[in-house]
Structure 1
Amino acid sequence: MKSNVLKIVLPMAVAAFGLASAGSTSNSKPVAQMGYHRINNPFQCIAVQNCDELGGFACKAPDGVTQLYSPAITCNVPLTRSTP
């Protein structure tokens, strides 16, 4: 009888431990992502440069004026970077 209990409980315990450890990990280091410039239509955008998302400065195009956006959700999410 003990053998049957171990055969049932042990795999469930291993699976529960795996799920708990996978859920507790997080990737707190932001990844550099490409910043996009909107073209007349908010659903169209072109890639300009990388934004690191580490700071509170607006990620702007090389002209220093144009705000860059994330391509997700129709180029409407403004990006930031660590340097002005």
Structure 2
Amino acid sequence: MNIFGNSNYDITGKRKIAMVFSSILIIIAIVAIVIRGFNFGLDFTGGTVLVVHYDEAVELEDVRNQLETVGYADAVVKNFG
């Protein structure tokens, strides 16, 4: 029983195409890193994660303002869930 049919592939003959394709992917990745930079998470930057649940929806700007008044002006507030 032959599942794949003809299994003779000219892998070494296609090496130039593979190298060009790999080079293009590497260049795209480098450009993306240069443009977007790294977005390091809490594990690398340090800090504290607080997960707060509210019974009713609140405005994120209100939460940011409250945190700013108690000394956390650079707090990152995100909506989750």
> Which one has the bigger strand percentage?
1
Give the TM-score band, short-chain normalised.
0.3 to 0.5
- Name the structure, 1 or 2, with higher relative contact order (CA <8 Å, separation 6+): 1
Instruction: Report the TM-score, using the length of structure 2 for normalisation.
Output: 0.35
Instruction: Report the TM-score, using the length of structure 1 for normalisation.
Output: 0.34
